[in-house]
Amino acid sequence: MERRPDSHGKVRDIYDTGDSLLMVATDRISAFDFILPDEIPFKGEVLNRISEFWFKKFSDLVPNHLISIDPADFPAEFQEYRSYLAGRSMLVKKAQTIPIECIVRGYLTGSGKKTYDQDGTVCGIRLPEGLTEASKLPEPLFTPSTKAALGEHDENISYERTVEIVGEDIATQIRDLSLKIYTAAAEYAATRGIIIADTKFEFGIIDGKVTLIDECLTPDSSRFWPADSYEEGKVQPSYDKQYVRDWLKANWDFEGKAPKLPAEVVEGTSERYREAFSIITGSDFESMKEHE
């Protein structure tokens, strides 16, 4: 698109349309808070359409900011870009963003496993002894973090600190909603052969109500594990960008600019995203751009 975005995140470009926002999911990929030089084919469309699926599925559980993903519904100024925007963009209501990353963990892995091994806690929450990699937690944990500016790192915080930042009423709502959505999503995903190990939600205020915004339960914001190969005690294969993270950890010292990814990592990651779409939605992935 020739028009410059009014703002952008690691993987999204955002355009202010006056009454609403147009969020465009690019094919950029980030890992460890670095934006990588390679794009992942179809990634933006997969993320956008998976979010739409969950927003609609849980619309009775929590209000969300979705207006439409159909370019025909977008403002006139964007009609000339319909081919590019098809599938990868979402017109949404404007929200007052709540500055908290709402992370829910159902299994022990990643940074949670690291701190558990050190002192038996995850984000300050003490857990039973004897847990290992990929152990299912006794109950899902709400482990919030700050929402850092682009290029900076999020910081894990306690629920008490969350209350200090946003107030007790909002903190309680976003905690309870996060746990409720995660539980419902995990139950649904189990019927599709997927374990949702953890995920991240974002909320805002629209018309005075706490509202689900940004993306929802995508391979970028969640760890999806195939249930049929799940085995406690080992790192699980996943449908997210773990393939990219693993390659980076093995091939980069995290100094200077991020390296280019090998072609097989790019294609393998794209394939995982598309497979995640098919399993979650129950529909084969076909790009809307190619079938306009």
To the question of domain 1-94 being in CATH 3.30.200.20, the answer is: yes
pLDDT in tens, 161-192: 999 999 999 999 999 999 999 999 999 999 99
pLDDT in tens, 213-242: 999 999 989 999 999 999 999 999 988 787
Nearest CA among 232, 241, 238 for reference residue 11: 241
CA distance 45 to 288: 8
User: What is 96-242's CATH number, 3.30.470.20, 3.30.420.40, 3.20.20.80, 3.30.2010.10?
Assistant: 3.30.470.20
pTM: 0.92
Q: Are 86 and 52 in contact (CB under 8 A)?
A: no
pLDDT in tens, 193-216: 999 999 999 999 999 999 999 999
β-bridge partners, 74: none
pLDDT in tens, 42-51: 999 999 999 9
pLDDT in tens, 53-73: 999 999 999 999 999 999 999
Same fold, 1-94 and 96-242: no
Nearest CA among 29, 91, 31 for reference residue 248: 31
Q: How do the domains of the chain map onto residue ranges?
A: 1-94, 96-242
CA distance 55 to 22: 16
Nearest CA among 188, 211, 215 for reference residue 199: 215
CA distance 264 to 289: 24
